[in-house]
Amino acid sequence: QDENLLPRKYFEVDFPMIVARKIHNIKSKPPLSKPIMESHSGDSLLIDSHSLDSSRYSIVGADLRSSSDLEEKLRKHSLDTHLPTLLVAECVLVYMTPQQSASLLKWAASTFPVAMVINYEQVNMRDRFGQIMIENLQRRHCNLAGVELCSSLDSQRERLLGSGWDNAHAVDMMKVYSFLPQADVKRIEALEFLDEKELFEQLMQHYCICWASKDSSNL
């Protein structure tokens, strides 16, 4: 904040029902509401039971499977598509059909001239460990509608490239873990004894971070 590196505006998108619960928690819990009120003392802050909007932060209730509805609500909350934009999805696309996630990614690629998308979700789901993960979720009535695109790092990259992004990369979380400063890793691992290291490694190999970008301004 002191170096003026905060984003111009942060948008959080979720289902309207979830947004209503989030706003109820913000309004009813002073540790959540007080910082928002204080940081916007001189700005306009609109908050009701179904939406929150300010000059720097908005919570938007929308269904990501309808990009036209999503765009309309974002623009209503002062989205500026000409600014460089970072889009982050955490275990979101896997719950959409391949057609629905492709539509969302294509919309983002065509809407923002300068943008990066970061996606965190499952990978390597065709092996035995991945199949067990799917079966466990299905027993809890949780359907991974887009799991076929989580078969490999290549399938994750190809999904992004096929949706209009200029370049794409993907690494599994075990690789990410190996990139962390070793001093931090030792400190973290000393906090609690990990007796199932093989299971931990298998789990990390079945999640990944993918990122893609397009840059018409050569930033």
Pick from 80, 97, 121: which residue ends a domain? 80
Q: Are residues 126 and 214 in the same domain?
A: yes
Question: Which tops the pLDDT comparison, 51 or 91?
Answer: 91
- Whether residue 56 sits in one domain with residue 120: no
Average pLDDT, the chain: 91
3-state secondary structure the chain: CCCCCCCCCEEEEECHHHHHHHHHHHHHCHHHHHHHHHHCCCCCEEECCCCEEECCEEEEECCCCCHHHHHHHHHHCCCCCCCCEEEEEECCHHHCCHHHHHHHHHHHHHHCCEEEEEEEEECCCCCHHHHHHHHHHHHCCCCCCCHHHHCCHHHHHHHHHCCCCCEEEEEEHHHHHHHCCHHHHHHHHCCCCCCCHHHHHHHHCCEEEEEEEEECCCC
Do 25 and 56 share a domain, yes or no? yes
Residue 95 clears pLDDT 90, i.e. is over it = yes
If asked whether residues 72 and 123 sit together in one domain, one would say no
Count of positions (residues) in the chain: 219
| pLDDT tens digits along 167-207 | 999 999 999 999 999 999 999 888 988 788 899 999 999 99
pLDDT of 40 > 80? The answer is no
Domain end point (choices 80, 101, 126): 80
pLDDT number for residue 151: 96
Is the same domain home to 28 and 99? Answer: no
Provide the CATH number for the domain around residue 142.
Answer: 3.40.50.150
Domain containing residue 69: 1-80
Can you tell me the mean pLDDT for 93-104? 96
Residue 172: alpha-carbon gap to chain centroid? 16
What pLDDT is recorded for position 43? Answer: 66
Check residue 170 and give its pLDDT: 98
Give mean pLDDT, residues 106-112.
Answer: 96
The residue among 125, 164, 167 whose CA lies nearest residue 146 is: 125
What is the structure's pLDDT at 193? 81
Q: Which residues of 127-150 are buried (b: 16+ CB within 10 A; e: fewer)?
A: eeebeebbeeeeeeeeebebbebb
Confidence (pLDDT) at 44: 72
Whether 12 and 106 map to the same domain: the answer is no
pLDDT at residue number 39: 73
Domain identity same for 25 and 123: no
Say if residue 73 is in the same domain as residue 90. Answer: no
On whether 201 is known to bind a ligand per the annotation, the reply is no
The structural domain count of the chain equals 2
Among 94, 193, 178, residue whose Cα is nearest residue 134: 94
Same structural domain for residues 64 and 98?
no
For residue 156, the model assigns a pLDDT of 97
Confirm if 83 and 113 have CB atoms less than 8 A apart: no
* Same domain membership, residue 108 and residue 149: yes
Give the gyration radius of the chain's Cα atoms.
20
pTM, entire model? 0.88
Furthest-apart CA pair in the chain: how many Å? 56
Q: State the pLDDT at residue 178.
A: 93
Q: Which of 14-18, 115-119, 137-141, 213-217 has the lowest mean pLDDT?
A: 213-217
Q: Render pLDDT for 123-142 as a digit per residue (tens, 0 to 9).
A: 999 999 999 999 999 999 99
At position 123, the amino acid (one-letter code) is V
- The answer to whether the annotation marks 121 as part of a ligand binding site is no
Of 83, 82, 40, give the one whose Cα is nearest residue 58.
40
User: For the chain, what percent of residues have pLDDT higher than 70?
Assistant: 97
Q: Do 184 and 91 share a structural domain?
A: yes
The answer to the question of whether 90 is labelled as a binding residue is yes
Answer with the one of 80, 108, 134 that is the final residue of a domain: 80
Q: Clarify whether residues 127 and 206 are in a common domain.
A: yes
